[in-house]
Amino acid sequence: MMSNRGSAKDAMIEVAERMFAERGLDGVSMRDIASAAGQKNNSAVQYHFGGRDGLILEVFRRRMAVVNAAREEFLAMIDDEGRGQDVRALVEAVLVPLANYIAERGVGSYYAQFLVRVTPSLDFDAPDLAAISVSSREVSRRLMDVLDHLPRRVAVARVDLMLNMGVSALAVFEQRCADDNPVAHASFAETVHHVIDMSVAALEAPCSPMNSADDAVDRVAVGQGLREAEGSP
């Protein structure tokens, strides 16, 4: 049987994910989260997580651990099929595990919306996050390597944009479901296929003359973009 302490932590994790997804990081107080989770002690978040940053990290860590485990299995599958360096297969490795997780949670899913809100503020080089995002980093590295028709800095930028576009599209679908928007009654599977098709097309598109210039430009910015792209969900 789950302890009261465990129940309290789980409740605050669920509430925090939803409230941060709906209001953003600056629109929610720790007192709001504690109260909505049924905690009488206004310092409950501080007690269980050490503060707001610890709570955000725990939400991300708990969800990401599940998604990345599924992504590792997906990578192993496409490797066995000989598709481990195929752009479409790698895009599927990014999006399908996340989409499946959202679908399994149903109408009450807020994870993609949470990701859109909090990912820009996370340090993916932090040991806690790096440990659970190994498969995400592996997919990003493979994508950057197979996009050899592009200068490296352009490949880095496109992978980062693709990751953000995919998560944002799933977040919009989540929000429409929560609002019972008629658009949300379209097939979720069909939506995911659209996002995959669009992502593949965006990654494989030819490079514009502006971006075909010297690939050695701005090496520092490229390195930063690589770290961000590798760590994204």
Assign 3-class secondary structure to 26-37.
Answer: HHCCHHHHHHHC
37: nearest Cα among 16, 60, 61: 16
The model carries a pTM of 0.83
Q: How confident is the model at residue 218 (pLDDT cuts 50, 70, 90)?
A: very low
What type of residue is 199? S
Q: What is the DSSP letter of 206?
A: P
What is the pLDDT at residue 182? 61
How much is the mean pLDDT over the chain? 86
Give the separation between CA 217 and CA 11, rounded to whole angstroms: 48
71: nearest Cα among 147, 133, 160: 133
Q: How confident is the model at residue 230 (pLDDT cuts 50, 70, 90)?
A: low
Q: How confident is the model at residue 197 (pLDDT cuts 50, 70, 90)?
A: very high
- pLDDT tens by residue, 66-122: 999 999 999 999 999 999 999 999 999 999 999 999 999 877 889 999 999 988 877
- pLDDT tens by residue, 4-27: 556 889 999 999 999 999 999 899
- pLDDT tens by residue, 37-64: 999 888 899 999 999 989 998 998 899 8
Give the separation between CA 142 and CA 57, rounded to whole angstroms: 26
Extents of the domains making up the chain: 53-207
Which of residues 1 and 50 earns the better pLDDT score? Answer: 50
Give the separation between CA 7 and CA 155, rounded to whole angstroms: 44
What is the pLDDT at residue 223? 53
Residue 38 CB neighbour total at 10 angstroms: 12
∠ CA 2-55-24, nearest 5°, is 125
What is the pLDDT at residue 216? 46
Give the separation between CA 139 and CA 161, rounded to whole angstroms: 14
What is the pLDDT at residue 199? 97
The residue ranges of DSSP E strands in the chain, in sequence order, are none
Structure tokens that stand for 148 in this block: 């050899």
189: nearest Cα among 96, 68, 78: 96
Taking each continuous run of H as one helix and of E as one strand, the counts in the chain are 11, 0
Given a cut of 80, whether residue 173 has pLDDT beyond it is yes
